[in-house]
């Protein structure tokens, strides 16, 4: 039985490979962009979204990811026979983002040929990765968050105050499997508020001393603004993956201050407010 399964898997892989060569997803060699490189330059690739994986098929090349969306590659200092001929193939470089795969053929050149040092990965070089439900990229989340940031507040009376700090839930939007929370914090005191963290939890509405509190922590998948402190006003968009909870629980937004002052503010959102959220 194991032998039959193995043969079936091998046949499926060959069938998929043959099919891929007939489609745009196969990235046939004739469609790959050819790039030239030499010892004295470093080639940088810039991606519109974070790079998840890179493969270099030649041992004569070395590369790394100095930033999430930047990949750089150069010749190894000791590249063996490379450089003894005017031109030599260095194989294929594969770059995979959150939603695409791109491949480039690299070739060594020793002449006066102009070689690039910076290359943007453009849609013409990309082949989409259609694997199930594709999540939004960080750039897409940023774009929708900026769109939400431009909207005027539409929710009233959803706020709470403690120690001169007030938290307002201005808007709640949904998009596909995401919830966009538009939150503003104001400071009516003369003491600057140093942010420790903003936490999101689902917990019980009413907590008694005899109750074992079961809070579920929810980590934002994207935050529009990273800020360490504010003196008067602080507004931000937080993106959470879609979730649900029963009526006896609430979504709490907890703003905590760094010690030594340690002020804490909690704003609660009922599930009903999430159900009434507008589509972004």
Are 123 and 225 in contact by the 8 Å Cβ rule? The answer is: no
pLDDT score at 209: 47
Are 82 and 89 in contact by the 8 Å Cβ rule? The answer is: no
Question: Which residues, other chains included, contact 235 with Cβ-Cβ below 8 Å and sequence gap of 6+?
Answer: 149, 170, 182, 183, 184, 185, 225
Model confidence at 66: pLDDT above 80: yes
Percent of the chain with pLDDT over 70: 81
Strand partners, 168: 159, 184
Mean pLDDT of the chain, nearest integer: 82
What is 73-129 written as a DSSP string?
Answer: EEE-SS-TTTTSSSEEEEEEEEEE-SSEEEEEEEEEE-SS----SEEE--GGG-EE-
pTM of this structure: 0.61
Average pLDDT, stretch 98-111?
Answer: 88
Strand partners, 109: 87
Are 142 and 247 in contact by the 8 Å Cβ rule? The answer is: no
Fold of 141-279: Immunoglobulin-like (2.60.40)
pLDDT score at 26: 40
Fold of 27-133: Immunoglobulin-like (2.60.40)
Domain boundaries, the chain: 27-133, 141-279
């Amino acid at each position: 039985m194991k032998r039959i399964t193995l043969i079936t898997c091998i046949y499926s892989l060959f069938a998929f490979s043959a099919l891929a060569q007939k489609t745009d997803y196969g990235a046939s060699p004739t469609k790959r962009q050819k790039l030239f490189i030499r010892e004295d330059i470093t080639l940088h690739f810039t991606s519109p979204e974070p790079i998840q994986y890179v493969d270099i098929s030649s041992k004569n090349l070395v590369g790394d990811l100095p930033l999430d969306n930047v990949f750089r590659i150069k010749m190894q200092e000791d590249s063996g026979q490379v450089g003894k001929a005017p031109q030599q193939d260095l194989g294929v470089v594969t770059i995979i983002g959150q939603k695409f795969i791109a491949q480039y053929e690299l070739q060594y050149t020793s002449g006066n040929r102009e070689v690039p040092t910076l290359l943007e990965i453009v849609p013409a070089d990309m082949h989409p990765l259609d694997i199930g439900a594709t999540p939004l990229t960080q750039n897409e989340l940023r774009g929708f968050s900026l769109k939400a940031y431009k909207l005027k507040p539409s929710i009233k009376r959803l706020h709470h105050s403690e120690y001169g700090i007030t938290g307002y839930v201005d808007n709640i939007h949904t998009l596909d499997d995401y919830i966009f929370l538009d939150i503003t914090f104001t400071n009516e005191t003369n003491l600057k508020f140093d942010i420790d963290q903003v936490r999101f939890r689902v917990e019980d509405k009413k907590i008694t001393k005899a109750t074992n509190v079961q809070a579920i922590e929810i980590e934002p998948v994207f935050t529009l603004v990273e800020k360490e402190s504010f003196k008067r006003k602080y507004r931000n968009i937080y993106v959470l993956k879609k979730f649900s909870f029963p009526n006896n629980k609430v979504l709490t937004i907890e703003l905590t201050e760094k010690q030594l002052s340690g002020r804490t503010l909690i704003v609660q959102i009922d599930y009903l407010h999430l159900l009434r959220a507008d589509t972004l």
